[in-house]
Amino acid sequence: MRNPFWIALLALGFGAVAPAQAVHFPFFIFENDDQVDLSGCDLWVDVLDAGNGSIDFVFGNSSSADFGGVITNIYFEQTDLLALSPALKGNGASVRFHPGARPNTPPGSTGAAGGAWLGTLYSASAIAPSPSHGIHPGEFLTVRFDLASRGTFGDVLTELTKPGGFRLAEHIQSVGAEDTSSLWGRNSQTPVPEPATALLLVAGLALGAGYRRLRRRHSSP
């Protein structure tokens, strides 16, 4: 007879392992010239260990329909932790980017968001017309890098979370009721747990504890 406990343990245990490698960084807006209402803005990047010396940056847009907003440019600040060989992949036919964004760097107002931009390692732009092929609410774009010979996944996370570490930035267009405003954002240096990931991790730990209790019970004389 199959034991439901073991089935649940295997299902949740395996499910809890993979998401644990994802680290979620919200984006905040550092330039909002038109003073757009940001209450529905929800932009983020997930940083994942892709294995085999690779790392994924998943740029996502979970903004409300009222806010709208389309991510049309993404930027990576200069760092020696990433090898310049990225691959781009959108989650649908409408998300289409190519290397090289204009302008070459985020605006000078990044000085109010962690200091002057120290040069662009890599940038990408949505294919024209950019609002049509950018990252709309409910969509995402994955950028995969190889780690440089001296870099590790942990090193990248450290750089993203410390003052003076390298930053990610993005340009958001077609914002607001008239779809005419634009914004600039950069990643927060404080990652937040993802609810689904946290739930799986807690479930996995709880079931692991149950497994240990059962082993002790069955091994007792």
Overall average pLDDT of the 127-150 stretch: 93
| Domains of the chain in sequence order | 22-189 (2.60.40)
Mean pLDDT of the chain: 80
pLDDT confidence of residue 86: 87
Overall average pLDDT of the 122-143 stretch: 95
Lowest mean pLDDT among 24-28, 48-52, 68-72, 84-88: 84-88
pLDDT confidence of residue 186: 96
What is the tally of helices (H) and strands (E) in the chain?
A: 4, 10
Query: Is the peptide bond preceding residue 163 cis, with omega within 30 degrees of 0?
Result: no
Closest CA to 189 of 216, 163, 213: 163
Residue 78: HSE in the Cβ half-sphere, 13 Å Cα cutoff: 7
43: β partners? 61
pLDDT of 206 > 60? The answer is no
- If one compares 155 and 14, the residue with the highest pLDDT of the two is 155
Most confident residue range from 85-94, 109-118, 152-161, 193-202: 152-161
**pLDDT bracket for residue 29 (50, 70, 90):** very high
- If one compares 114 and 79, the residue with the highest pLDDT of the two is 79
3-class DSSP assignment, residue 180: coil
C-alpha 72/C-alpha 69 separation (Å) is 9
Q: What is the pTM of this model?
A: 0.78
- If one compares 184 and 5, the residue with the highest pLDDT of the two is 184
Please enumerate in sequence order all residues whose Cβ is within 8 A of that of 20, keeping only pairs 6 or more positions apart, or say none. 197, 201
